[in-house]
Amino acid sequence: MGKEQFLHAETRPLFQTLEEISQRSGVSRGQSFENVIRASVAALAAETMEDQYFEAIKEHTEGKQGKRGVDLFPKFLGQAVNAISESETDKDILGDLFQGSVSYGENSLYLTPEPVASLMSRLTSSSENAEGDKGTKRTPGIQISDPCCGTGIMLMESARNHPNATLVGQDVDSRCCDIASINLGLRGLYGYIICGNTISREVRHVYEIGSFFHETENGLRRGVIRLIEPEACPVLPEQHDRNDELSSDDDPKADKAATEQSMVIGIPQWLFRMEMQRLADLKGKSGAANPKSQSPDSAVPKDKTPSPQEKRSGDDDDHPTVQGELF
In a domain, 263, yes or no: yes
Residue 44 falls within a domain, yes or no? yes
As a whole number of angstroms, the distance between CA 42 and CA 189 comes to 17
Task: Locate the DSSP E strands across 122-240.
Answer: 143-146, 166-171, 191-197, 202-216, 219-228
CB-count burial class (<10 Å; 0-12, 13-18, 19+) for 48:
buried
Alpha-carbon distances of 248 from 15, 97, 243, 257, rounded to whole Å: 45, 42, 9, 10
3-class SS shares of the chain: helix, strand, coil, % to 5? 50, 15, 35
Q: How many folded domains does the chain comprise? A: 1
Give residue 288's pLDDT. Answer: 65
The pLDDT tens digits for 265-284 are 888 888 888 888 888 888 77
The amino acid present at 178, given as its one-letter code, is: D
At 299, is the pLDDT very low, low, confident or very high (cuts 50, 70, 90)? very low
- Whether residue 1 lies inside any domain: the answer is no
Rounded CA separation 17/70 (Å): 11
- 311 occurs within a structural domain: no
Residue 327 domain-assigned (yes or no): no
On whether the CB atoms of residues 161 and 117 are closer than 8 A, the answer is no
User: Which residues 6+ apart lie within 8 Å of 11 measured at CB?
Assistant: 83, 93, 96, 97, 100
The boundaries of the domain holding residue 204 are 11-127+138-271
What residues contact 171, with CB distance under 8 A and at least 6 apart?
Answer: 148, 149, 150, 177, 180, 193, 194, 195
Position with higher pLDDT, 279 vs 180: 180
pTM: 0.79
Q: Is residue 94 part of a domain?
A: yes
In a domain, 289, yes or no: no
Residue 72 lies in a domain: yes
The DSSP bridge partners found for residue 167 are: 144, 191
Question: CB neighbours (10 Å) of residue 282?
Answer: 10
pLDDT at 294 over 50: no
